[in-house]
Structure 1
Amino acid sequence: MFLRSKFVAAGAFCASILFSGYLASSAQAAEDVTVFLQPIVPYDSIWMADEKGIFEKEGLNITYRLFPSGTTALQSFRVGEGDILLGGDFPGVQYWVQNNKDYRLIAVIDRDPSSYVVTAKKDITKAEDLRGKRVATRVGSTVDWFLSAYLKAHGMTKDDIEVINLDGQVMPAALCNGDIDAFFFWQPYNNTAIETCPDIAHNLSDAKGYIPGFSIAAARPEWLEKHPEIAKAFLRGMLQGKEIAEKDKEAVIAYADKNLSMPRAIVEAQWPVKNRIIALDDGVYADYCKLAEWMRDEKLMEGPFDLKEFVWTKGLEEVDPSRVTAPPPPC
């Protein structure tokens, strides 16, 4: 008998969604894997692989640790905790730059800029109204890139606003209480603000046209060298889970409710717009090159970005080569 899977809350934020999976027998020895993730709908491929016992059949005994953001998860990842990390694009590249390239992208799971949203007070009706306002984001996270790209597109920079660094779970209350004037984050926190104070808050824009909105999976290169078969089993399981998630909205809703206390309305709003690409292809590389360009402008990266050193293509090449193309020259 072994513990198939369990979610472990990381900090007070996730205490309410602590739960354990069930015991099940296995015909083979299970490989223990710790996965860091956030309670967000883009990971429904993983939810379904967990719910349907697909990871178990792949020989994986997964422990999930929940974090409010990938940026927060990277703080634990940096000290050697966790095996596979799910998060966003910008935090991963920044971690790679700052930690001697001790990070490899193994797949982009989802591309959905509509899930990244700027929510503001109702008297802020256009981007230019943010000038001089207190605007929250999670500094170092993908929404930090969204904030910069959004401001630049409208002729502004961060110098034109007061940036407040907050985690997403406190942003709705901060907006409703008047502590901030707007915030850039991802769903469901934006709609939570509207539900909490509908007379004050509205969604000003999503991230379409500004950033790709990637949700990704990554691991350390040393771990991948030692455990390539585990990584490939995880990718196989995720691809099988993708097929279920795309066709069975009710199963996704039930999983989110049972395991994450996530309301039906949140899943119903996001499920139709999910783009579960699970790939390392030319489109992915082009978006990462745009990210690198922005990071150089922000003095967060120097020189060309070598995607060949950033991605681990071996896993997807062996699991489903149609989802992989060779990384381009440094960009």
Structure 2
Amino acid sequence: MPSSRVSMLRWWCLGLLLAAAVGHAQPLKVAVSRGPVSLPLYVAESNQYFKATGVDVVFVPCKSGLECFELMSSGAADVATAAELVLSLRAGSHPESVLLGTLSSSAHQIKLVARRDAGIARPQDVQGKTVATVMGTSAQYFMSSWLTFHGLGSSDVKLVATTPSDVVQTLATRRADAVAIWEPLASTCVQELGGRAAIIPSPRVYTQFFSLLSTRQAVTVKSQALTRFLQALIKAEHFIEIEPQRARDILRTQLGGSTELADRLMSEQDYHLRLDQAVVTTMRSQVRWARKENLVSSSDTDPATLVDAKLLRALMPQAVTLVDR
């Protein structure tokens, strides 16, 4: 057989192998926490931005950022969505984990919802009461920061554990006088109690950075898929900015509830894919807090070493304003 035909045959076989590899490529599995914080993901899926950028994405639902992180750590997901605190508390125990960017930031994502019939209407009324929260999450950190802001300590309240699945009933059945919980569960608590509910004012004691977490191995092995994933989220961010009503409708479809609720939840979020120095500063403060509360063992790991900016910087350098890296 002439060498030219052999060469063509080789290229044809190689093409078939590549096509087969693409056809059988594993999808990028993303553990998604339900809530307004995940709107860019909902928009990207609804508008088929993932498909447009050439990445097959499968959502793995989870009830909290902590659950999402555990799915990623177990290998059930390539990417986890979670508040930055989840990684802060694991800076020493999970050095293979990295933060790729933040999807949104909000000082209103977590709320303190109380029962009026428990005698709580103002911040000072919380002293001596039972407060439930999901331990080891940003809600616990919020509550600690809230108490400090109001001149109180953990000994001034009875802090008890609840779960995302049980938090509404914990408040409704009087197992707690108040709950510190994220949206949309905070709004569900208010809806369940009706006029008996009071949202206690919470000054900007904590700004949550809802983050995209992955592993160093995934960044190496699946860099192309992750890059295309980020490209789709940049498109989603732009859509939310120029088509807020259509984005609101997508959020409402995901969460249920009224148009007014979806509008309010969106207004409480700043949807921008970025990496600010503020997230590193917050994570360092959280590590100090966790050590003080004996939530983690002493570790010399600086949270800044868990931030991997290269993928986002390559796509949108202006979105990365880290001073440490």
User: SS at the partner of 1:91?
Assistant: helix
Q: CA RMSD in A?
A: 2.2
User: SS at the partner of 1:114?
Assistant: coil
Q: What one-letter code is carried by the residue in structure 2 that aligns with 1:137? A: T
Paired residue for 2:175? 179
Is 2:129 the partner of 1:133? Answer: yes
Rounded to whole Å, the distance in 2 between the matches of 1:133 and 1:179 is 11
Q: TM-score, normalised by structure 1?
A: 0.84
User: SS at the partner of 1:278?
Assistant: strand
Larger Rg: 2
CA deviation vs aligned residue, 1:47-78 (integer Å, no higher than 9, x gap): 21111111111111111111111112223223
Q: What one-letter code is carried by the residue in structure 1 that aligns with 2:101? A: A
Q: Which has the higher contact order (CA 8 A, sep 6+)?
A: 2
Which of 60, 65, 83 aligns to 1:65? It is 60
Which of 86, 90, 109 aligns to 1:115? It is 109
Is 2:204 the partner of 1:209? Answer: yes
Q: What one-letter code is carried by the residue in structure 1 that aligns with 2:113? A: T
Which of 98, 101, 111 aligns to 1:104? It is 98
CA deviation vs aligned residue, 1:220-276 (integer Å, no higher than 9, x gap): 111111111111111111111001012223322332344444543331111123212
Q: Give the conservation status (yes or no) of the 8 Å contact 1:90–1:141.
A: yes
Please, which moves more after superposition, 248-257 or 134-143? 248-257
Which of 273, 280, 286 aligns to 1:278? It is 273
Cα deviation, residue 39, structure 1: 1.5
Please, which moves more after superposition, 282-291 or 81-90? 282-291
Rounded to whole Å, the distance in 1 between the matches of 2:195 and 2:252 is 28
Paired residue for 2:151? 155
Is 2:315 the partner of 1:319? Answer: yes
Q: Give the conservation status (yes or no) of the 8 Å contact 2:89–2:287.
A: no
Rounded to whole Å, the distance in 1 between the matches of 2:184 and 2:274 is 25
Cα deviation, residue 305, structure 1: 4.6
Paired residues for 1:1-331 under 5 Å = 32-99=27-94, 101-122=95-116, 123-206=119-202, 208-299=203-294, 300=296, 302-328=298-324
CA deviation vs aligned residue, 1:78-98 (integer Å, no higher than 9, x gap): 322100100111112213333
Cα deviation, residue 178, structure 1: 1.2
CA deviation vs aligned residue, 1:178-203 (integer Å, no higher than 9, x gap): 11100001122222222222232110
Rounded to whole Å, the distance in 2 between the matches of 1:33 and 1:314 is 19
Rounded to whole Å, the distance in 1 between the matches of 2:297 and 2:273 is 26
Rounded to whole Å, the distance in 1 between the matches of 2:248 and 2:274 is 25
User: SS at the partner of 1:190?
Assistant: helix
Rounded to whole Å, the distance in 1 between the matches of 2:181 and 2:301 is 26
Cα deviation, residue 285, structure 1: 2.3
User: SS at the partner of 1:224?
Assistant: helix
Cα deviation, residue 301, structure 1: 5.2
Q: Give the conservation status (yes or no) of the 8 Å contact 2:88–2:303.
A: no
Q: Give the conservation status (yes or no) of the 8 Å contact 2:104–2:273.
A: yes
User: SS at the partner of 1:124?
Assistant: coil
User: SS at the partner of 2:27?
Assistant: strand
Question: Residues 166 and 195 from structure 1, CA distance in 2 versus in 1: closer, same or farther, beyond 3 angstroms?
Answer: same
Cα deviation, residue 143, structure 1: 0.7
CA deviation vs aligned residue, 1:1-26 (integer Å, no higher than 9, x gap): xxxxxxxxxxxxxxxxxxxxxxxxxx
Please, which moves more after superposition, 103-112 or 56-65? 56-65
Number of residues paired by the alignment? 301
Higher percent of residues as helix: 2
Please, which moves more after superposition, 187-196 or 253-262? 253-262
Percent identical residues: 17
